[in-house]
Structure 1
Amino acid sequence: MEMLVDLHTHTLASGHAYSTVTENALAASRRGLRLMGMTDHGPSMPGAPHLFHFENLTIIPDQLFGVKIMPGVEANIINPEGELDMPLKYLETLSLILVGLHPICYPGGTCEENTQAYIKAMLNPYTDIMVHPGRPDFEMDLEKIAYASALLNVPLEVNNSSLSTIQEKAAARKNCKSIARYMAKYRSPVILGSDAHYCDRVGEFSEAIELVQEAGIAGQDILNTSLERVLDYLAARRIRRKDIKPSMLMHRLSIA
């Protein structure tokens, strides 16, 4: 399975990552990637960059070492209503918006509240990709999330970092395997992400690939096996933003 895109990477700007965008791009080039996202954490994460960081991303070159660079953010869900920690003026200008839950940014709640937060963030027309739903920090209805992903055509990430981090590995693998099977069932759009916080992890998908294969998800069903599919999806997402009416979609998210 050839992976050509890694949309989930972090630089020194995230505060707890340890490489520059140049170092990450060089690592991406050496792995044969053609596109790399630069998605540092949104401002509610301790150590995250000031909002001016995101305003100034236009200075990043379009390409480094032959790899297309797509500046964006990993925005944080901050409450059960799925609100993000990025003001609208920044969401409107960023090339890539990943969205996820982190314990230090979101207080947590019941399974129902956490699931609602995740799906409401997915309904946000500025959300491009939902990240690491399999992390064990929050109990969620993973089948309902996979169903919502398929209905809304918003990809869910299988996060390689969660599967390879010692503290999370066992619980994350169980959750990721479960949601991957639901993704296969409902034909939810799938993307793999390294969530690299150091340059040698950029483009590292080995554990994620093993897991999706176990779940019966084929390479052609994974978005980032094709540069063109990633670019086409993101372009279509931007065109469709004006037509998405979240309030009209919520009643369709129940599972029989």
Structure 2
Amino acid sequence: MKLEVDTHTHTYASGHAYSTLSENALHAKQNGLKMFCTTDHSESMPGAPHHWFFSNQKILPRFLSGVAVIRGVESNIINARGQIDIPLHVQQDLDWVMASFHEHVFKPGNSKKHTRALINIIKSGQVDAIGHLGNPNFDFDFHSVIAYAKEYNVAIEINNTSLKGGSRVGSTARCYQIATVAKELGAFITTGSDAHFCQQVGKLESVSELLDKVEIPVRQVITHTPLQFLAFLRLRGKPAIAEFAAL
């Protein structure tokens, strides 16, 4: 499947990534993207920036190297109540809020605990997507969580880095299972490179292969085109971005 949007990328501001936003944009262009989200880790992750960093994204241009830039964050799920580590007033300044489990912030527990946390964060209305759910350290009830994601219009991420085996070992089979359930339930899917170096931005080949093998309908994949992604943001109640009106 053709994917023109990458909704999960990092800059050196995350503390363990190695490129600037401008470098990411340049490689996004070279790798065929029309839009990407900049989603540095939020402050509970060791080395990550203070939440002021995310508030100040309003200064960023809407296009770099001819590619549309979505202002976002990869926040941390910090407890089973479904709280994340980005203040509400900062979330409201961003176009795109992801939430993910990270072992340094949320100690892995059992499936019931993880499921409760995911359902609570989905129901809170604070996040647009849940990141790298294939991680076997954070098992959860696929059907229950994805059913809530469908109901609340929260996208389920299929993460290219998870599929390549470089991190979160054991994720590949789970990603296929998650995608299959999402297809059955009609949930929205988003796709992210999880790039921590500029050359990885837009590298979504493994995700594309999965989507084709599982035969996910294009209408469910919000990253197929920028128009589909922007339509999803409107569905989420996000304000229109004037600079993207011509897309």
Shared fold, TM over 0.5: yes
- How many equivalent residue pairs? 239
Q: Deviations over 1:193-218 (max 9, x none)?
A: 11111111111111112222222213
Asked which structure has the greater RCO (Cα within 8 Å, sep 6+), the reply is 2
Amino acid at match of 2:18: Y
Residue 135 of structure 1 corresponds to 135
Range 67-76 or range 103-112, more displaced: 103-112
Post-superposition offset of 1:239: 5.3
Residue 249 of structure 1 corresponds to none
Q: Deviations over 1:6-65 (max 9, x none)?
A: 111000000011110000000011122111111100100001012221122122111101
Residue 253 of structure 1 corresponds to none
Aligned residue runs from structure 1 range 44-55, under 5 A: 44-55=44-55
Aligned residue runs from structure 1 range 11-26, under 5 A: 11-26=11-26
Post-superposition offset of 1:114: 0.5
Post-superposition offset of 1:91: 0.9
Post-superposition offset of 1:182: 0.6
Residue 179 of structure 1 corresponds to 178
Q: Deviations over 1:48-84 (max 9, x none)?
A: 0122211221221111011111111101000001100
Post-superposition offset of 1:124: 2.1
Residue 79 of structure 2 corresponds to 79
Task: For structure 1, list consecutive stretches of 5 or more residues without a partner in the other structure.
Answer: 241-256
Residue 163 of structure 2 corresponds to 163
Distance 1:35 1:168, change over 3 A: same
Identical counterparts, % of pairs: 36
**Contact in 2 for aligned 1:133/1:176 (Cα 8 Å):** yes
Q: Quote the Cα distance in structure 2 between the aligned partners of 1:141 and 1:183.
A: 12
Residue 151 of structure 1 corresponds to 151
Post-superposition offset of 1:121: 1.0
Amino acid at match of 2:130: M
Task: For structure 2, list consecutive stretches of 5 or more residues without a partner in the other structure.
Answer: 240-247
Residue 218 of structure 1 corresponds to 217
Q: Quote the Cα distance in structure 2 between the aligned partners of 1:31 and 1:166.
A: 20
Q: Deviations over 1:130-187 (max 9, x none)?
A: 1111112212111222222222221101000111133534x10111111111111111
Look up the SS of the partner of 2:39 in the other structure.
strand
Residue 3 of structure 1 corresponds to 3
Distance 1:239 1:60, change over 3 A: closer
Range 53-62 or range 67-76, more displaced: 53-62
Post-superposition offset of 1:221: 2.8
Moved >4 Å (runs of 4+)? none
Residue 242 of structure 2 corresponds to none
**Contact in 2 for aligned 1:100/1:118 (Cα 8 Å):** no
**Contact in 1 for aligned 2:58/2:93 (Cα 8 Å):** no
RMSD of aligned Cα (Å): 1.5
Q: Quote the Cα distance in structure 2 between the aligned partners of 1:127 and 1:226.
A: 21
Q: Deviations over 1:107-140 (max 9, x none)?
A: 2322111011011111222211111111122121
Distance 1:51 1:221, change over 3 A: closer
Q: Quote the Cα distance in structure 2 between the aligned partners of 1:72 and 1:138.
A: 23
Q: Quote the Cα distance in structure 1 between the aligned partners of 2:99 and 2:238.
A: 19
Range 50-59 or range 71-80, more displaced: 50-59
Look up the SS of the partner of 1:68 in the other structure.
strand
**Contact in 2 for aligned 1:14/1:40 (Cα 8 Å):** yes
Distance 1:57 1:117, change over 3 A: same
TM-score, L = length of structure 2: 0.92
